[in-house]
Amino acid sequence: MMSTMDIKKINLKDFTPDKIRNFSVIAHIDHGKSTLSDRLLELTGTISDRQKHEQFLDKLQVEKERGITVKAQTASMFYEHNGEIYLLNLIDTPGHVDFSYEVSRSLYACQGALLLVDAAQGVQAQTMANFYLAFEQDLKMIPVINKIDMAAADPERISKQLINLFDFEKNEIVLTSAKNGIGMQKLLSAIVERIPAPVGDHEKPLKALLFDSWFDEYRGVICLIALHDGIIKKGDNITLAQSGKKYEVLEVGLMYPDQAQKDALYPGQVGYLITGMKTVKEARVGDTIYHTKKEVKPFPGFKPAKPMVFAGIYPTVSADFEHLSDAIEKLTLNDASVSVEKKSSDALGLGFRCGFLGLLHMDVFKQRLEQEYGLDVIATAPSVLYKLKMKNGEDLQIERPSDFPDPSKIETVFEPIIDATIITPKEYLGNIIHLCEDKRGQQTDLTYMDEQRVILKYKLPLNEVASDFYDQLKSLSSGYASFDYEEANYEPSDLVKMDILLNGKPVDALSVIVHKDKAYNMGRDLTQKLRKVIPRQLFEIAVQAAIGAKIIARESIKALRKQVTAKCYGGDITRKRKLLEKQKAGKKRMKRVGNVDIPQEAFMTILKK
């Protein structure tokens, strides 16, 4: 075990690629990944007991609460094995599907991975998704069953699952309990013995992969890099391959576990780099770094982050717009994958239209606005990006119902489809299949993982999953089902724009894009909800749902009226009728000129679905 003080004396030049092991930990949410990482850092002396606070690598409040990792963190460790000292680089990956591109880049920087599975819960949907990501990158896997000291643990059953699903051998599986430190030395030895060393050459020109970055208030953008070839040192001039921008290296070093400055980094090593970039938008994940003038072939597989789900974010009180604007600006300093544009809505005032990688990403973003900046925000119902082929041959991309062109000019509408994997105990299977069919899903596969659990594969439209699919899935399966998805492609679909009309005038903020088969039910629901929340006026209001010129649902809000016949006692019926007719003519005149004022609640009802 090495003490934390030695970092200053260590010469990184001694650590040639054969003494280095780069690995990551992949797991489903809440299977103990961060705790395991903490134990490894403690055992190798990277963090002392004095610095120890639970889940060292999860730095955001929302990460600790939800038990998820949003930003990948990295830490280096020195470990003595059979008299040799090895440099182990733990590259922490986000465990959630929305961040799968970040996971794939982090894995690209590794040569091996620990596949971590909870001894009670077994293999979950994201365990499988992440396994295949790592498998595609040809990483050496070490299966680890964690939390074996729990009362409900059943390592035997879980071992069988791992052997059946992923073809591991029984003797490869390492049993641990990260909380109590059981099996950790065995795991460290397995990392050194089984994971291959990185390949690199210090004679070749510099080539490094940028796999993460974040913003520091005092030092600008800090990038995490994995060196492939060459040496990078302070004062070098470097260029980023994708953006073509040039920078000077101000500082390099190891994450031990915070930044420890070093003179240079050598092939196969993983460390941080500071160049004085101003925003993380410049440091794009997956970019290649080389010495200016000595150009190299960039790493394959780079793709800029593209948002899949869009939502409007508005302050509940319009006076908070400035605060919201600042908060979003600060959050996007650290998250280059959120796209932001200013929008004003008739209903909610000024706000922002944001694009996110997925639903969890959106939730986390909104939660961080509320927790870290104390803001009260409204997020509109999420929408997705549609592609339209017009009759005149041009292609359009739209994400808001109000941009939807005239239906007569559209040839086909394409909507994004996802491949979903759902793992559930078999007693909930019926309900879940019913839910997926409701959401216009197509079943592609159904297999039994063991006697208890089923793996379901579905093709689902992202639009259907966007609002509340995940919540429904959890409640139908008492929380036991796990869900994971990846984008598949765009498929043609029968989508229409449904307008809500008040007295014949369309209200832009209330229109929605729906599937033709569901339009009737949804129109009826919306008109009924609106009838309850729009206050009565002195004239009748017709609330209608329409597709183009065809009205598919209608509700009427009755007029408030004065009892005009109250002064008639007895007498002929024509006296009363005359007064009523007069009132009716007045109401008709009023309806012609009257405007309906829609309260905020009405928009809330619709946005919350």
Minimum mean pLDDT among 156-165, 315-324, 594-603: which range?
A: 594-603
CA dist., res. 48 & res. 50, Å (int): 5
Q: Residue 601 pLDDT > 80, yes or no?
A: no
Report the phi/psi class of residue 230: left, alpha or beta, with left for phi > 0 and alpha for psi in -120 to 50: left
Cross-strand partners of 238:
247, 291
Task: Out of 98-102, 173-177, 265-269, pick the least confident.
Answer: 98-102
Q: How far apart are CA 359 and CA 607, in angstroms?
A: 15
More confident residue, 328 or 334: 328
SS3 of 197-217: CCCCCCCCCCEEEEEEEEEEC
Which of 228, 307, 214 minimizes the C-alpha distance to 270? 228
**What is the pLDDT confidence band of residue 64, given thresholds at 50, 70 and 90?**
low
Q: What is the mean pLDDT of residues 123-128?
A: 77
CA 419 to chain centre: 16
**Pairing relation of β-strands 207-216 and 220-229?**
antiparallel
Contact 93, 126 (CB under 8 A): no
Which residue has better confidence, 252 or 359? Answer: 252
Asked whether 495 and 412 are in contact (CB, 8 A), the reply is no
Residue 367 has pLDDT above 50, yes or no: yes
The token duo for 586 is 């007045």
What confidence category does residue 572 fall into, taking pLDDT thresholds of 50, 70 and 90? confident
- Which residues does 376 contact at the CB level (< 8 Å), separation at least 6? 315, 316, 317, 320, 370
pLDDT band at 73 (very low <50, low <70, confident <90, very high): low
Residue 98 pLDDT > 60, yes or no? yes
Predicted confidence (pLDDT) per residue in 502-539, tens digit: 888 887 777 888 888 888 988 998 888 888 888 888 88
- Mean pLDDT (the chain, rounded): 81
pLDDT at 68 (0 to 100): 54
Q: How confident is the model at residue 87 (pLDDT cuts 50, 70, 90)?
A: confident
Indicate the pLDDT class of residue 609, thresholds 50, 70 and 90: low
Between 442 and 73, the more confident residue is 442
**pTM, whole model, 2 decimals?**
0.70
Q: What integer pLDDT is reported at residue 524 of this predicted model? A: 92
Q: Could you give all domains of the chain from N- to C-terminal order, each with its CATH number?
A: 15-194 (3.40.50.300), 207-291 (2.40.30.10), 309-380 (3.30.70.870), 386-493 (3.30.70.240), 497-608 (3.30.70.2570)
Residue 269 is predicted with a pLDDT of 86
Percent above pLDDT 70 for the chain: 89
Q: Which residues contact 208 (CB under 8 A, 6 or more apart)?
A: 225, 226, 227, 228, 230, 232, 288, 289, 290
Residue carrying structure tokens 């309850």? 532
Instruction: Please give the structure tokens belonging to residue 299.
Output: 């790493």
pLDDT band at 276 (very low <50, low <70, confident <90, very high): confident
Give the pLDDT score at 4.
46
pLDDT of residue 347: 65
The residues, any chain, with a CB within 8 Å of residue 522's CB and separated by 6 or more, are 498, 512, 514, 545
Q: Which two tokens stand for residue 108?
A: 């690209």
CA distances from 429 to 437, 442, 449, 482 (A): 12, 15, 13, 12
Confidence of residue 96 (pLDDT cuts 50, 70, 90): low
Per-residue model confidence as pLDDT tens digits over 441-487: 899 988 887 777 888 888 988 888 876 777 788 788 777 777 777 77
| 5 has pLDDT over 50 | no
Residue 413: pLDDT over 60: yes
18-22, 49-53, 502-506, 572-576: which range is least confident on average?
Answer: 49-53
122: exposed, middle or buried (Cβ count in 10 Å: 0-12, 13-18, 19+): buried
Phi, psi for residue 376 in degrees, rounded to 5 = -105, 110
Helix (H, G, I), strand (E, B) or coil at 441: coil
Handedness of CA 289, 294, 296, 298 (dihedral sign): positive
- Please provide residue 120's backbone torsions phi and psi, each rounded to the nearest 5 degrees: -100, -40
Please answer whether residues 503 and 542 qualify as being in contact, where contact means their C-beta atoms are separated by less than 8 angstroms: yes
R_g of the chain, CA atoms, integer Å:
30
pLDDT at 608: 59
Cis before 257 (ω within 30): yes
